[in-house]
Amino acid sequence: MDRLHLVDCTLREGDQAPGVAFTPAEKLAIAQQLDRAGVALADAGMPALGPQEQGFLRAAVDACEHMVVGASVRCLPEMVDLALGCGVGAVFVICPISRLHLEKRLGVTVDGLIANLGRCAERVAAAGASLELVAEDATRADPEDLAALVRAGVRHGAARVYVADTVGALTPAGYAARVAQVVSWADGELAVGLHCHNDFGMATANTVAGVEAGARWPTACVNGLGERAGNADLGAVALACSELLGLDTGFRPRALSALARAVELASGQLIPAQAPLVGQNAFRHESGIHVDGLLKDPRTYEVLDPALVGAQRSLVLGRHTGRAHLRALASEAGLTLDDQALDALRDQLQQQSHGVPREATQALRDALARHVASGTPLGVDQLLAWARLMGDPA
């Protein structure tokens, strides 16, 4: 299998998200989970933030057994020295390459940027770390300027160049075309990475498109956390690349659910119910047609086994529930219900305006089991009573 190397940015980009402030202990715990999950490289923080960040980076370097811990810096030699002082194995040198950033924000030329890159590269090479060249705002850069930066990366011994879609400005097709250009300019002399933001909701799709265009070092954040609307989602990128593209990612998907919950708790940013793979509804089903298919063969309405990502399937009772689900619940309790009883219960459920929590579903199973144990005849009235109870859990 073709090998993909996941680069996590949760500990830097995620930490920069408005309202998020990981403690050093939380960051270290997440770094260790990422390490165990099989992430290859982490852009774990910015040492320029101060002693606390530097202390975390040193602790992460010591604690992670397999994942290379890196740090992000501006394209200035003194910033590189700060990162190297933390013992990191990789230095992400951020090089704004669009004229908007170069002229309006920094007041430097392309030549001046590349000259600074050369001085930074000397320090990184002397320390034995890898130079990770981040082409910031690459999707809005003049192609000639971006090509010059990529060739400078080759000349100065960069390990990788990351094509940053800094404000999510391209569609998947447009981003793939830009990545293909960079792959061509790199000409096998340095690897190509990806960094996508979610301003138009396409960060994950753009990242997968970039992989299809030849890049093999995508960055992503757990739960899609990140600046503004976030970044590409680590779990979705990893599973899309392994399950849909057939690439070996080195990622251990069973670790995903626990990792997502840990980041949710530490960040205070709730995972949306509809989030791919880890959201409450990712493997939760109510529709009668879907549940009937799932009971016959889960592959009918699930593209992968939820256990693969450390999750569980949940069949929810509600106004869209069909006979197949109700019959299965009764069967679990050792009962065989006729169509009249099933239809009466379904009619009652269909009057409800909201789904039934998992606890109420279990309550129905328990009640059915008690009926079987007592030998009491089961009637439609009892079923309707349970349906009303489940419609109003309070």
DSSP 197-266: B-TTS-HHHHHHHHHHTT--EEEEBGGG--STT-B-BHHHHHHIIIIIS--B----GGGHHHHHHHHHHH
- Other C-beta atoms lying within 10 Å of the C-beta of residue 357: 15
Residues 271-290 pLDDT 10s:
999 999 999 999 988 888 89
In a domain, 320, yes or no: yes
What's the predicted TM-score (pTM) here?
0.86
Q: Which of 220, 242, 267 is the last residue of a domain?
A: 267
Report the CATH number that the domain containing residue 110 is assigned in CATH.
3.20.20.70
pLDDT given for residue 376 in this prediction:
60
Q: Which of 267, 294, 325 is the last residue of a domain?
A: 267
Closest C-alpha to 15, from 259, 253, 230? 230
pLDDT given for residue 379 in this prediction:
56
Q: Which of 232, 267, 302 is the last residue of a domain?
A: 267
In a domain, 187, yes or no: yes
One domain for residues 250 and 340: no
In a domain, 2, yes or no: no
pLDDT given for residue 188 in this prediction:
94
Torsion, Cα 193 131 55 45, to 10 degrees, reads -30
pLDDT given for residue 360 in this prediction:
58
| Residues in the chain, pLDDT under 50 | 353, 388-394
Length of the chain: 394
Residues 17-70 pLDDT 10s:
999 999 999 999 999 999 999 999 999 999 999 999 999 999 999 999 999 999
Q: What is the count of structural domains for the chain? A: 2
* Calpha distance 72→114 (Å, rounded): 17
Q: Which residues form the domain of 48?
A: 7-267
* Calpha distance 266→70 (Å, rounded): 21
Closest C-alpha to 196, from 184, 181, 209? 209
In a domain, 277, yes or no: no
pLDDT given for residue 369 in this prediction:
64
